[in-house]
Homo-oligomer: A and B are copies of this chain.
Amino acid sequence: MVTKKKYYTGPQKKMARYAKAIAHPARVYILDFLADNIDKCCYSGDMAEDIPIARSTLSEHLKALKEAGLIQGEINPPYIKYCINKENWEEAREMFEGFFRK
């Protein structure tokens, strides 16, 4: 039997995870919208009109981005204010920069 590496490295997995978060046009839209100004915040409803999906689906995409760490949500019912998670956003930026600049 040939010896194989058993697992992917941490950075490889992290990179893939960030990329997957961006890998849907709706999520690209959301991130574009929020990253426009790094301190910008918005509510789910602010985007709902401009995106060709149901509100519940938009909510799931927001959840996916939150789980990936790229955004965060401040709960203030019935509103939830979303904004970029600056720390992870910067980390992702650096990872992609390093990835492409080899």
Hey, which bits of chain A sit against chain B, CB under 8 A? Answer: 2-8, 12-13, 15-16, 19-29, 31-32, 35-38, 49-52, 89, 92-93, 96-97, 99-102
Contact = CB atoms under 8 A, between A and B. Distances in A.
Taken together, the copies of this chain in the complex come to 2
Nearest to A101: B93
29 contacts: A4-B50, A5-B51, A5-B52, A7-B52, A8-B26, A12-B25, A12-B29, A12-B32, A15-B22, A15-B25, A15-B28, A16-B24, A16-B25, A16-B27, A19-B19, A19-B23, A20-B24, A22-B99, A28-B99, A31-B99, A32-B102, A35-B99, A35-B100, A37-B102, A38-B102, A89-B100, A96-B96, A96-B97, A96-B100
B16 A19 contact: no
Nearest to A22: B19
A8 to B, nearest CB: 4
A20 B92 CA distance: 15
